[in-house]
A and B are shown apart, each in its own frame.
Chain A
Amino acid sequence: MTTTTTTTTATTTTTTTAKTKPHFWKWAIASIIFRLILIYFPKNLNLATRPEVSTPVTSLRRLAEGYWLTQSSMSPYAGSMYHGSPLLLSVLGPLTMKKIEGQPYHLLCSLVSVIADFISAMLIRATGLKLRMAYCERLKLLGLGKLFEVSEILPSEDIAALVYLWNPFTIVTCVGFNTAPVENLFIILSLYGASTRVAPLAAFGWVIASHLSLYPTILIIPVILLLGNGPDATPKKLLLMYKKDEGGSSSKGRVVNGLTEQKSFSWRPVGLFFVWVFIWTLYTLFMCGIFMRNYGGLSEMFSRTYGFILTVEDLSPNIGVLWYFFAEVFEFFRDFFLIVFHLNILFMILPLAIRLNHRPCFLAFVYMAICSMLKPYPSVGDSALYLALLALFFNELAEMQFSFFLFCGYVGVSLLSPVMHNLWIWRGTGNANFYFATGMAYACFQIILVVESVSAMLNHDRKIRKLVAANIS
C-alpha cells in the first residue's frame, strides 16, 4: 500500500514539475532578454562606477588596464590597478579591447557575464533538483511520505534558479562590467560537481573559484562533506534510530535498500577529489607561472592577488565594514586587526561544520553569507550568490522568522546605499558615516539572515525528528 502511495506521489510531483517547466523556461528566457535590453540600453547606466557593484578585485576597468599593461610588456600588477588572476586576464582581456562599431561598450564582456549567469542558473537548477530528490527520498525512507499530501513540496530548484536570474543584485552585477558572475559560476560549478559526485568537476570548480578570489577556499569543507555524505539530508542518527526501530517491528516489510548507500562516510570520492585538486592546482599554477615568468613569478602574483585581499590595501568605500575601520586604525595595530578580522571568518568554520555536517549545501550557503559579510571588498554579486543558494532550501526554510523584515531591510539598504553615497561624495552634504551606516545595516541584515536561516533549518530537523518519533511510538 505504501508503494502505491509513493507512486502516486511520484506522479503528482512529476506532473507539477511538468506544469512548472514551461513557466520556468519562459521566465528564464525573459530574464536573459531583460539583461540584453539593459546591455543595449542607449543611455549609459553607469553601473560600473558604483562601489556596490564593482570592487577593486572584480572591476572590469581594472582588468582592461592590466591587459593593456601586459600588451605593453609590463607586469599586469604594475601600478596596483589589477588584482585578479592572470588566467582571467588572458581570457577576458582581449575581449575588453575589442570595440565593435555601433555596439555598446564592452559588449563582449557583458555577453560573457550573461552566459555565465545563465550557466550558473542551470547548474543551480540541477543541484537543486538533486537536493530535492534526496530530500524526498529521505522523507520517504523515514516513513513521512504522507508529508507530501499535507504540504506540497515546491520545486525548489526552479525557484532557486529563477531567484538567481531575477534577483536585482544579479542583474546589476551582470550588467555592471565586473567579473563576479564568472567567480559565482565556478563556485556553483564546484557545488554541482560535489552534489553529483563528479570529483574532477568539483575539484576544478573549487580550484578555479579559490584562484579567482580567495574566500571560496573555505568551501572545501562543504564539498568534501557533499562528496562523502551525499546531498543534504536529515541527520544520520535519525535514520539509524528509525532503522533500529524498523528492525524491531516486522509488520512493515519495507525495503530499506536506500539505507545501504550511506551508512558511513565514503572516502573514495573524497580521495579522488583530492587527487584532482592536486592536478588542477598544479595545472593552474603552472600556467600562471608561465604567464608571470618575466614579471616576478608566482610569488609576485600571490602577493598582489591574495596579499592584496588579505592586507586590505585598498580602502575605497564599499558595502563592507572593513574600509571604514582600517581607514582610522593606527599603523601599530593594523596587523593585529587584520588578523582579528580574518580570524572572524575562520573561527566560524569549525562550529558550523560540526553542527551542520549533515547539510553540506546549506553549510556552503552559510559560509558564503559569512564571507560576503566579512570580506574586505564585498559587492552585491556575493549576495546574489548566497540568496540563490538560500532559495534552494525553500522547502526546509518555509517557517523562517523575520523573512518579511529581512526582505524590506534588503530593499531599503539597496535603495539607501546609493543615495548616501551620492550625498557624501557628489553633493558633499553628507559624510562617510552616512554611507557606512547603510553598510553596517546591510551587515546586520545579513547576520539576521544567517542566524534565522540556520535556526529555521535546525527547527526543521527537530520537527522531522519529532514526527519520526511520533510515528514510531
Chain B
Amino acid sequence: MESKSKFVLCFLLLVLSCCLCHGITSSSSSTTTAMHTNNWAVLVCTSRFWFNYRHMANTLSLYRTVKRLGIPDERIILMLADDMACNARNKYPAQVFNNENHRLNLYGDNVEVDYRGYEVTVENFLRVLTGRHETAVPRSKRLLSDEGSHILLYMTGHGGDEFLKFQDSEELQSHDLADAVKQMKEKRRFKELLIMVDTCQAATLFSQLQSPGVLAIGSSMKGENSYSHHLDADVGVSVIDRFTFYTLAFFERVNMYDNASLGSLFSSYNPNMLMSTAYYRTDLYPRRLEEVPVTNFFGSVMETIHTDSAYKAFAGKYSKKSVLEMPLRQSSQDLRRTLASSDVQYPTTDSNVEDPQDSCRFTQFWSSTHGKTTKVDGLDSWVNYGLFLMFPMVAMTSWLSS
C-alpha cells in the first residue's frame, strides 16, 4: 500500500509539473503543444498577361529560394498563370528572369507548377488553404499539412484596400482570407503561418486576421503603392518588384545552415529603398522575431533527434527522453543569436516506474542485474569468450563420457 501511494504521488507530481510547464511556455493551448514537423509553402501569383511579368518572376524567385533552402516540391503549392515563359512576346522563350543581368533563369527544368492558367482562382486558392477539395483532386494539388506544419503563404499581384485581384476577373477579400485562416486553425492545419504579400496596399489584406500563430508582412500600408524595382529594356517589362527584390537580396546571402532570424529579415526592409513601408503584424504571433530562424518558414531544416537505439521505440524503455539538437553554425553576418527550440520540453522523468504489484524476488533480482548489465560495456567480449570456451567444454565432456 505504501508503494502504491508513492506511485500515486509521483503521478500527481508529474501531472502538476506538466501543467506548470504548459502554462509557462504556451500562451495559447494549441500552437505550441504540437511538435514542428514540416514546412510548407503556398506561392500564389494572381496576375496574368504579359505586362505582369514581374509578378510571375516574384513568385518564381521565391519558389527557387524556398527550394534552395530545402523545401521539396511535394510540399510546395505553386499557383501561376504561367503565360509568361512561352508567351509570343517573350524574346527569350521558356526563360523567365528576375534581373536585367539575366544571370538566373527562373524557369529552368525543375519547376513544378500545381495550379496553372485558369485554375488559379479564388475558389481553388481557398480550397487549397482549407483542404476542402473534391475527391478527384490529386495529392500534389493539396496542402497536406498537419498540426505541426509551418506554412509560408506568399501572394503577389495587384491589390487594393482589403482585396487582392485574381487573374483580372475576381477578387479575394481580406475577410475571405481571414475566414480561411480561421478554418485552417480550427482544423489544425498549421502550427505557424507566415503570410507575405507583395501588392499595393498589402497590409490591408491581413487586417481581419484573428487566428493565433499567424505572422503577416505586407509590402505596403494602406494608401501606399508597391513599386517595381527596375525595367529590363531587353525583355521590355519590369522584371521584379522592390519588396521581393530586397527579400531575395537578403536570402541570397543565406544558406541552409545559417540562423538568420525573421527579425533581421523584417528589419532589412528600408522604406526609402522600397518606396513604401513594409508593415508586419506580430500581435497574433507568440514568439519573438529575433528567435525565429528564417528557415522555419523559408527552408526546411529538419531537427535531428538523437536516440540511443535504432529504429524502434525501445527509447522509452532504455534511453532517456530525447534531447533536441539544432544546427548552430555562425551566420556570416552580425551578432550571435541563440535560438530556442520551437518545441516545449517537458521535464524528463525516468520511465522505469516500478510496478507496485511486482513483489516477486526473482523478477526484482533479474531487473536489477539487467540494469547493471546494460551499463557494463565489456560484456560483448564475454560472448566471444563463452563461444571459445564452448568447444573445449564439449570435447572434454564427450571424452569423459565416452
Contacts and interface: CB of A to CB of B under 8 A. Distances in A.
Given A200-B394, A201-B398, A204-B394, A293 B379 contact: yes
Contacts of A283: 386, 390
Interface in B350-381: 370, 373-374, 379-380
A414 interface: no
Contacts of B374: 293-294
Nearest to A197: B402
Contacts of B312: 78, 296
A201 B402 CA distance: 10
Contacts of B382: 287, 290
Contacts of A74: 309-311
A293 B310 contact: no
B49 interface: no
A78 B244 CA distance: 48
Nearest to B376: A293
A141 interface: no
B401 A200 contact: yes
A193 to B, nearest CB: 7
B380 A291 contact: yes
A113 B380 CA distance: 25
Given A293-B373, A294-B318, A199 B401 contact: yes
Nearest to B390: A283
B1 interface: no
B144 to A, nearest CB: 27
B373 A290 contact: yes
Nearest to A192: B398
B310 A91 contact: no
Nearest to A204: B394
Contacts of B24: none
Interface string A74-112: 110011000000110011000000000000000000000
A353 interface: no
Interface in B89-106: none
Interface in B280-312: 309-312
B398 A193 contact: yes
A20 B60 CA distance: 87
Interface string A193-206: 10010111100100
A324 interface: no
Given A200-B397, A204-B394, A287 B373 contact: no
B398 A200 contact: yes
Given A293-B373, A294-B318, A296-B314, A90 B383 contact: yes
Contacts of A294: 309, 318, 374
Contacts of B379: 290, 293
Contacts of A75: 309-311
B309 A87 contact: no
A47 interface: no
Contacts of B310: 69, 74-75, 78
Contact of A198 (B311, B373, B383, B398): B398
A198 B311 CA distance: 45
Interface string A276-290: 100000010011001
Contact of B402 (A78, A91, A196, A293): A196
Interface residues of A, number: 27
Contact of A87 (B383, B394, B398): B383
Interface residues of B, number: 22
B335 interface: no
B387 A87 contact: yes
B402 A198 contact: yes
B391 to A, nearest CB: 9
B365 to A, nearest CB: 15
A40 interface: no
Interface in A267-306: 272, 276, 283, 286-287, 290-291, 293-296
A81 B402 CA distance: 41
Interface of B is mostly: helix
Nearest to B402: A198
Contacts of B384: 90
A253 B380 CA distance: 66
Contacts of A287: 382-383, 386-387
B317 to A, nearest CB: 9
Given A87-B387, A291-B383, A198 B309 contact: no
A78 B308 CA distance: 13
Contacts of B318: 294
A450 to B, nearest CB: 32
A78 B383 contact: no
Interface string A5-44: 0000000000000000000000000000000000000000
B386 A198 contact: no
Contacts of A196: 402
A88 to B, nearest CB: 10
B383 A290 contact: yes
A283 B390 CA distance: 9
Contact of B387 (A91, A198, A296): A91
B397 A78 contact: no
A193 B379 CA distance: 32
Contacts of B380: 290-291
A294 B374 CA distance: 6
Contacts of B309: 74-75, 294-295
A131 B394 CA distance: 23
Given A193-B398, A198-B401, A78 B311 contact: yes
A25 B278 CA distance: 94
Nearest to A72: B310
Contacts of A272: 401
A207 B312 CA distance: 30
Nearest to A288: B383
B377 to A, nearest CB: 10
A343 to B, nearest CB: 32
Nearest to A198: B398
B340 to A, nearest CB: 30
A337 to B, nearest CB: 28
B319 to A, nearest CB: 10
Interface in A193-232: 193, 196, 198-201, 204
B114 to A, nearest CB: 35
A419 to B, nearest CB: 39
Nearest to B389: A283
A131 B383 CA distance: 37
B370 A293 contact: yes
Contacts of B314: 295-296
A287 B393 CA distance: 15
Nearest to B391: A204
Contacts of A91: 387
B386 to A, nearest CB: 5
A110 B379 CA distance: 29
A93 to B, nearest CB: 10
A402 to B, nearest CB: 40
A193 B384 CA distance: 25
Contacts of A193: 398
Contacts of A78: 310-312
Contacts of A200: 394, 397-398, 401
27 contacts: A69-B310, A74-B310, A75-B310, A78-B312, A86-B383, A91-B387, A198-B401, A198-B402, A199-B401, A200-B394, A200-B398, A200-B401, A201-B394, A201-B397, A204-B394, A272-B401, A276-B397, A283-B390, A287-B382, A287-B387, A290-B380, A290-B382, A290-B386, A293-B373, A293-B379, A296-B312, A296-B314
List 7 A-B pairs, minimum CB-CB distance, nearest first: A74-B310, A200-B397, A201-B398, A198-B398, A78-B310, A287-B386, A204-B394
Given A283-B386, A290-B379, 17 more contacts: A74-B311, A75-B311, A78-B311, A78-B312, A87-B387, A90-B383, A90-B384, A193-B398, A200-B394, A201-B398, A272-B401, A276-B397, A287-B386, A290-B386, A291-B380, A291-B383, A296-B314
